[in-house]
Structure 1
Amino acid sequence: MERYDLLYRLYEEFDTEQLRTYQEFVDLFPPVDSPVALEHWQTASEELDALKAEIRSAFPRTGDAFATLASLATRDQAFTGLDLYSTYGRRVNVLVLDVDETLRSAGRTDNEIPRDTLHLLTRFHEAGVPIVICTGQTLENVKGFLIQGLGNELVHSGTVSVVYEAGTGVFTPGHGAETKQLLYEDLDPDIGTTFRTLRSRVLSEAPDSLRRGCHLQGNEFNVTLKPNFETGSDEAHAVVEEALVYLLDLLDDVVGGVAGVDPDASGRARAYYAAEDPEIRGVLAARDADPAVDAAAVPPAITALFERIDVAYYEADAAEVGSRELNKVLGVEAALAVLGVDDPFALVMGDSKSDLRVMEWATDNDAGIAAAPAHASPDVLDHVRATDDLVFARGDSGEMLRTIYALNRLADAD
């Protein structure tokens, strides 16, 4: 209990709120050419140093760690960090972070990663913690905003990796021949044929309501229909449900052709994926689109391909078909191998089912902890709440990063 007693004393005896105010001002002060503003910054910096010196003096053994901890984390964040350290007995040695609706959120941050979050990432980098950005976006998009937000030197430091397009490839600058790994090169030809055919037909054969109401995203091994309406709206909800049923039926026809099985109007894909995913089953029931056959009746040649293809439904956001052999887990494993993280204990942050697989991988392998925004997929939230309950508000990924930074500083002080 000594650690808890020391932490309690830290937050009771010192003005940690003022300390954090000074630290935030010093860290995020914009570059300005104003003598008055610079003098204000200098005063805040001196006050910050003085408060930290008081903490160092009061805690001879843990003073450095506690001074940094109190300047960045609230009392609740610090105690949550200590609870995590007491549970797992180790520090987080890699960050695995989704971007959209996790690091940034259209709901609160104008779709930009907040400056506070970016600064926290630089702190982890300076502390020697590698960063794996794990996203469905293209490599070009990710490189652009990372360099803009974190700086070219950090991104190309050799300790940052990007798993892009949900596992299609991995980019880890500064690692020679391993800098760019194209994971799709080892895919079976049948999967390639399935996705090429699916992508070529998905819009041309769609009903008018979907052609008007959706647009196509993804890549050669991912076909995603996104609504042309505000995410979460009633219109988006309806068109995404329609898109899911359409994608299931189109996938049924395409896979049947690849497998050499005659077309069947009984709804083989509907049956298989409804049995796999209760959300899909619920959408089919709501749209009076239940399959006419049981999943057990799907021909083995069809099932063998379905087992390698993922169908995902994101309520009022997207309907998606992707390769299970190209996923974020494989991408993360490849990134960690290049980064040299052979015994990972990761913070995995994300909001979608593709992120859930990484969280489950971390749990199953004692390789980390999971955190998610409160608006994440229900399955993601179920997993996070059943493990360490690390749920944060929309647009506030910085809260969780501060908690994990607190965990690491407490581990350093132990």
Structure 2
Amino acid sequence: MDRYDLLYRLYEEYETDTLRDLQNFVDLFPPVDSRVALEYWQDASDELDGRKREIAQSFAAGETMAEIAARATREQTFSALDLHSKYGRSVNALVLDVDETLRSAGRTDNEIPRETLHLLTELHETGIPIVICTGQTLENVKGFMIQGLGTELVHSGSFSIVYEAGTGVFTPGHGSDTKRLLYETLDEEIQEVFSLVRSRVLTAAPAELRRSLHLQGNEFNVTLKPNFDVGSDAAEEVIDEGLVYLIDLLGQAVVETVEGVENVGIEARDAPADSSGRSIDWARAYYAAADPEIDAVLAEQDATPDCDVERIPTEIRSRFDRIDVAYYHADAAEIGSLDLDKPTGVQSALDVLDIDDPFCLVMGDSKSDLRIMEWAEASDAGLAAAPEHASESVLEHVRSTDELIYDPGDAGSILRIISVLNQLSEW
């Protein structure tokens, strides 16, 4: 009897729903001092052991099948079986975005669910390194990861944080490689652009805009955040305005740092942010052409450029080619280096973790996460999963590969599939 038939028989003949309920109760039971509650937990644990023992005694690979049935639904198990048939190998690293991926503001009060944290811990205990890959600052991510997963796991030597979308990598317990500042490898002229933008981004902003947003505490990327609840109408308004301002400021900084700037036709390179100078038109034209969302925001803000991309001087355009402008609706406007993206950071983290032949689970929701997914597919280095509210480009990629799409706040369902996949690989 092959695995498909064995697993089909498992879910047909045994009360696997009850088994999973017992396992979840035992795993997620909160710490209490009540003797009655502890006795209740012990009764559930004893019943769970008995049901697992019954399955273990009924199949040749009974212990493995009991663990599978206790942790995954029929659908999750057969999804894992399909993945095993397709790839024939186990996942050896988790590469995970946080916001709207592990946690969801709409469904989980923006906290990572206890179930997800427990499943991450279980997978880590089987020897799978965790790479958190986010646009957030290192200190912020490190703080809530320690709070959620514990200091021991975060400092285990097999846990890494790729922060600010790839500008730095933090892997505790690896000596001089514990912190890699990837942005220090950038060319001096690119670093100068970021330095100029950062030094002016608040001081040069119009007074009302300056009061309505703040600068995220990044080491390198320049990120504007609203002083309002993320997702609110007020946040949407200020981030849309801030995006236009940031693009204009970037255009001026790029022109100032290009050698021979006097020859590219800029009459007022030190003009204020609301200038109609060519540097602003060039920046708006370039980033509108690069991203339809940015193009739409510029149009809504009455900031449509007066020139075409083809009219941008080569030396200016080549600088824009290396700098990314990211727009997150009602959340943030950001500039970052395209020489340092999430795939670059992830590969650096895997190098520190000494994973020579990666096969990762990549989970994310944004265009920056899509770049990791595309790298993983092109390199035969993993598979991708995304929440159903992810960017359409992300969803298109996931649908075209393994269709691992989950409900908001339910990242645990994908982790369960991966747990079964790895058990099948050892069967």
Residue identity in the other structure for 2:169: V
Aligned equivalents of 1:319 and 1:129: distance in 2?
Answer: 34
Structure 2 residue identity aligned to 1:394:
P
Tell me the amino acid that sits aligned with residue 171 of structure 1. Answer: F
More deviation, 137-146/155-164: 137-146
Q: Aligned equivalents of 2:51 and 2:411: distance in 1?
A: 27
Q: Secondary structure at the match of 1:215?
A: strand
The number of equivalent residue pairs is 412
2:215 maps to what in 1? Answer: 216
Contact between 1:195 and 1:220, CA under 8 Å: does it hold in 2?
no
What one-letter code is carried by the residue in structure 2 that aligns with 1:92? V
2:342 corresponds in structure 1 to 328
Question: 2:138 & 2:300 partners in 1: Cα distance?
Answer: 37
For residues 302-361 of structure 1, what are the alpha-carbon distances to aligned partners after superposition, in whole Å with 9 as ceiling and x for unaligned?
112111100111222221111112221111111101111111111111122221211111
Question: Percent of aligned pairs with the same residue?
Answer: 65
- Structure 2 equivalent of residue 139 of structure 1: 138
Please name the residue that 2:118 is paired with: 119
CA apart distance, 1:251: 0.9
Residue 221 of structure 1 contacts residue 323 of structure 1 at CA under 8 Å; is this kept in 2? no
Let me know the Cα RMSD of the aligned residues: 1.8
Shift of 1:35: 2.0
**Equivalents in 1 of 2:38, 2:65: separation in Å?**
28
The aligned residue for residue 297 of structure 1 is: 311
Distance in structure 1 (CA, Å) of the matches to 2:299 and 2:23: 53
SS at match of 2:336: strand
Deviates more, 1:322-331 or 1:208-217: 208-217
2-structure distance, mates of 1:382, 1:207: 39
The one-letter amino acid paired with 1:334 is S
Alignment of 1:224-303 (within 5 A): 224-259=223-258, 260=261, 261=264, 262=266, 263=269, 264-265=277-278, 267-303=281-317
Amino acid at match of 1:34: S
From the superposition, tell whether residues 382 and 242 of structure 1 become closer, same or farther in structure 2 (CA, over 3 Å). Answer: farther
* 1:314 and 1:377 in contact (8 A); partners too: no
Alignment of 1:41-190 (within 5 A): 41-60=41-60, 62-190=61-189
TM-score (norm: length of structure 1)? 0.94
Alpha-carbon distance in 2 for matches of 1:11, 1:209: 61
Contact 1:343 1:367 in 2 (8 A): yes
How many Å apart are 1:229 and its aligned residue? Answer: 2.8
Q: Which amino acid aligns with 1:99?
A: V
Aligned residue number for residue 307 of structure 1: 321
Q: Does the 8 Å CA contact 1:65/1:412 hold for their aligned counterparts? A: no
Consecutive unaligned residues of structure 1, counting only runs of 5 or more, are: none
Q: Please state how far the C-alpha of 1:366 moved relative to its aligned partner.
A: 1.2
1:379-394 equivalent positions in 2, closer than 5 A: 379-394=393-408
Q: Which amino acid aligns with 1:35?
A: R
Tell whether the 8 Å contact from 1:311 to 1:322 is kept in structure 2 after alignment: yes
Contact 2:359/2:381, CA 8 A, preserved across alignment:
yes
Which residue does the alignment assign to 2:274? none
Report the CA distance between 1:141 and its aligned residue.
2.3
Determine the C-alpha separation between the residues in 1 that align with 2:124 and 2:100: 22
Give the 4+ runs in structure 1 shifted more than 3 A.
Answer: 285-288
Does structure 1 retain, via aligned residues, the 8 Å contact 2:137–2:219? no
- Structure 2 CA distance for aligned equivalents of residues 9 and 68 of structure 1: 15
Q: Is there any run of 5+ residues in structure 2 with no aligned partner, and where?
A: 270-276
| Residue identity matched to 1:273 | Y
Whether contact under 8 Å (1:165, 1:218) holds in the other structure is: no
Q: In the TM superposition, what is the alpha-carbon distance from 1:170 to its structure 2 partner? A: 1.2
Q: Secondary structure at the match of 1:239?
A: helix
